[in-house]
Amino acid sequence: MIALTLGLAWLLGTTAPPAAAAAGEEVLAFGDAPFLGSNRSLALSHPIVGISASPSNRGYLMVASDGGIFGFGDAAYYGSTGGIRLDQPVVGMEATPTGQGYWLVASDGGIFGFGDAAYFGSTGGSRLNQRVVGMASPPAGRGYWLVAADGGIFAFGDAGYFGSTGGSPLDQPVVDMAATPTGRGYRLVASDGGIFAFGDATFVGGAGGTALAGRVVVLASTTTGGGYWMAVQRTVVLPGSPSAWILADRSTGQGLLEYRADARRRHGC
């Protein structure tokens, strides 16, 4: 998951991995989000799949599909699964409210907690209809939700269940989720930009049925809960390089969709 705050957005520029290694991922900063470093110059053995901001907004962590952690700014390192053989790849991460820990989630719903990230349960080892694609946590950090590609929700700890799309026919698979600031609701986003709101999460716009230049890959709420961002993955072929997936253009912000209760802005998607 990409962690965002109001007026703050860190997006990943990702280069598709060749046979041996993936090119380093680039962090694109918008609004008052400071650029604090990236893996752009590194040859990574596994692609980056998630990013999460520190509570101060002066740092961020990135996680690769093998669970390797890369920290920038004041984001502290508390451990990783990099170098450990995993049953399934890591698909996302969520930082604790204190910034002194984080969870990693694998596609089978296995949870790996580091620092002060407590373990509240998982679906690792359980038979799932669809793979897990993301996670979110209530503001107190005493639980978490996992979301599967069919929109099925798995709640653990003090994370309440407010509904799901599990069992309902979807035009496109769910790819991410974001909790509301109260922890009493959440939104799911499908790869076509369709939004499904539950609990106290409001619907203020979506891209379902809209022609996009790529697929939506991440969702994050504003700090007020009255809006949300999506990031669109666009395929770009660069001379002498493999296809590149980028979530936003450095100069124009293309690929970023922003929805708020009082405004809607769409940047070249």
Please state whether beta strands 101-106 and 174-179 pair in parallel, antiparallel, or not at all (unpaired). unpaired
Residue 241 forms part of a structural domain = yes
Please give the average per-residue pLDDT across 234-242, as a whole number.
Answer: 41
Question: Is pLDDT at 131 greater than 50 in this prediction?
Answer: yes
Residue 151 forms part of a structural domain = yes
Residue 197 forms part of a structural domain = yes
Residue 2 forms part of a structural domain = no
CB count within 10 Å of CB 149 equals 21
The backbone torsions φ and ψ at residue 95, rounded to the nearest 5 degrees and listed phi first, read -80, 150
pLDDT tens for 60-118 read 888 888 999 988 888 899 999 988 899 999 998 999 999 999 999 999 999 999 999 99
Q: Is 176 exposed, middle or buried (0-12, 13-18, 19+ CB in 10 A)?
A: buried
Q: What's the pLDDT band for 124 if we cut at 50, 70, 90?
A: confident
Residue 203 forms part of a structural domain = yes
Q: Which two tokens stand for residue 30?
A: 């918008």
Question: Is pLDDT at 41 greater than 70 in this prediction?
Answer: no
Strands ordered across the beta sheet of 48-53: 48-53, 59-64, 69-73
Longest CA–CA span in the chain (Å) reads 50
CATH of the domain at 191: 2.120.10.30
Domain count, the chain: 1
pLDDT tens for 165-217 read 988 999 999 988 989 889 999 999 898 888 999 999 988 887 777 777 677 77
Query: What does the alpha-carbon distance between residue 78 and residue 92 come to, in Å, rounded to a whole number?
Result: 16
Instruction: Answer for the pair 135, 105: CB distance below 8 angstroms, yes or no.
Output: yes
* Domain extent for 256: 8-266
Q: Is 100 exposed, middle or buried (0-12, 13-18, 19+ CB in 10 A)?
A: middle
What is the structure's pLDDT at 266? Answer: 40
Residue 1 forms part of a structural domain = no
Residue 147 forms part of a structural domain = yes
DSSP 163-184: ---TTS--SS-EEEEEE-TTSS
What is the structure's pLDDT at 60? Answer: 80
Q: What does the mean pLDDT of the chain come to?
A: 75
Residue 3 forms part of a structural domain = no
Question: Is pLDDT at 158 greater than 50 in this prediction?
Answer: yes
